[in-house]
Chains A and B, each alone.
Chain A
């Protein structure tokens, strides 16, 4: 049976992991290669790198980071943040990324998803959706949740799946950073609407939240940052917790 995946997410700014990662035994805590190796050793199923570098000139540093990680870490690597063109996708795949997450650019130019899926295959195209609750539905937001687009999240997910997205990375902007748990209602609506895998993101603060994202939200994978970065929980521990609840995981 297919395992549910646990995906640690690293925010990278100019080649360095930010938002502080605290591993007692990693001397250089901001080094993405060292952190990726550590997560790999702990049993992470994939690693997602989110480029938050403000200027596009400095984005090139992430390419080198991915090259270094891909030479030593043999699990799937996803890169997101600032992907705007087919050339951006190609560059990340050539550097060693297995999947590329397209976010804002998909909203302004939805055909980019179609073209990227045709050119590189659906298996490597992830569409990142940042959704926020508005009245009793969810809308897509851009610019870190500041700008509304008026697009309904569920319809958008369906459209992206039809355009050839291989996976959806769904982030609840209401929950992101709150540590109160994923928006499982939102996740459930999306997982019911599309037949491609959905990664739940935004709000995980405990191991039970991870289990809820899978069991209540129906997510195929759960993405988390802070609960792993600060050594609060180890990935192996999270997997054992899920396994004890009957959730299939890779141990």
Chain B
């Protein structure tokens, strides 16, 4: 049966590639780009992308009055955060002289510090994602598969149990988190060729059990 997947549009970055990749992964589903709380509330699944600076993202979320809707969606239905859509779920970022975030998951967002000249910032390109906790979204994806990253900040969640995958770039950082109906990744599945499309296919067919949802 056809379902509706809402891609949250709050004016931060280009959502076309996210929409196109989802549509490719789920040809029979309806993929909509929307900022309307009503449409996000009634969607079966929600994708929360994001690009740009933390302060601008938070300002845009507030301007569109989306923080309650995002919080609700992340706790009630399959929810996929991507890149800044992962970072803003945490408590605080050091970006823009310090920015308060949505605080759905306690933790910090910090900037990479180059340890050797070989370490470039932004962390841009294909890096390995080491799966440290199995999850339905990793189905048919081998640990160590490469995904496309582009970011200068990384997350440090307080709760180590939500860490689903890690990646190395001057240090080992959390590249994906999972808890209840929420899954969020630092890399861009919509730009990660076959591995990314597989993750999106896994997302659109993921049915978190009611039990899992209640753990939250």
Contacts and interface: CB of A to CB of B under 8 A. Distances in A.
Given A3-B146, A70-B20, A120-B52, A96 B127 contact: no
Interface size of B as a range: 35 or more
Given A1-B127, A121-B51, A123-B150, A74 B122 contact: no
A76 interface: yes
A238 to B, nearest CB: 15
B125 A45 contact: yes
B24 interface: yes
Contacts of A221: 125
Interface stretch (A22-30, A108-116, A137-145, A191-199): A191-199
Contact of B114 (A75, A123, A124, A195): A195
A96 B52 contact: no
B169 interface: yes
Name, among A40, A124, A221, the residue most crowded by chain B CB atoms within 10 Å (CB to CB): A124
Contacts of B14: 93-94, 96, 98
A71 B13 CA distance: 17
Chain B interface main SS type: mixed
Nearest to A93: B14
A74 B24 contact: yes
Interface in B118-137: 118, 120-128
Contacts of A98: 14, 17, 191
A166 B123 CA distance: 10
Nearest to B52: A121
A109 to B, nearest CB: 22
A167 B146 CA distance: 20
B31 interface: no
Contacts, number: 92
Given A2-B123, A3-B125, A196-B122, A74 B17 contact: yes
Interface stretch (B2-10, B69-77, B192-200, B205-213): B192-200
B120 A196 contact: yes
B151 A123 contact: yes
Contact of B17 (A4, A70, A191, A220): A70
Contacts of B146: 3, 250
Interface of B: 13-14, 16-17, 20-21, 24, 51-53, 114, 117-118, 120-128, 146, 148, 150-152, 168-169, 190-193, 196-197
Given A76-B148, A218-B118, 10 more contacts: A2-B126, A3-B126, A3-B146, A74-B197, A123-B51, A195-B114, A196-B121, A196-B122, A220-B120, A220-B125
Interface of A: 1-5, 40, 45, 70-72, 74-76, 93-96, 98, 120-124, 166-167, 191-192, 195-197, 218, 220-221, 250
5 contacts: A2-B125, A74-B190, A98-B191, A195-B120, A221-B125
The 4 closest A-B pairs by CB, nearest first: A250-B126, A121-B52, A3-B126, A250-B146
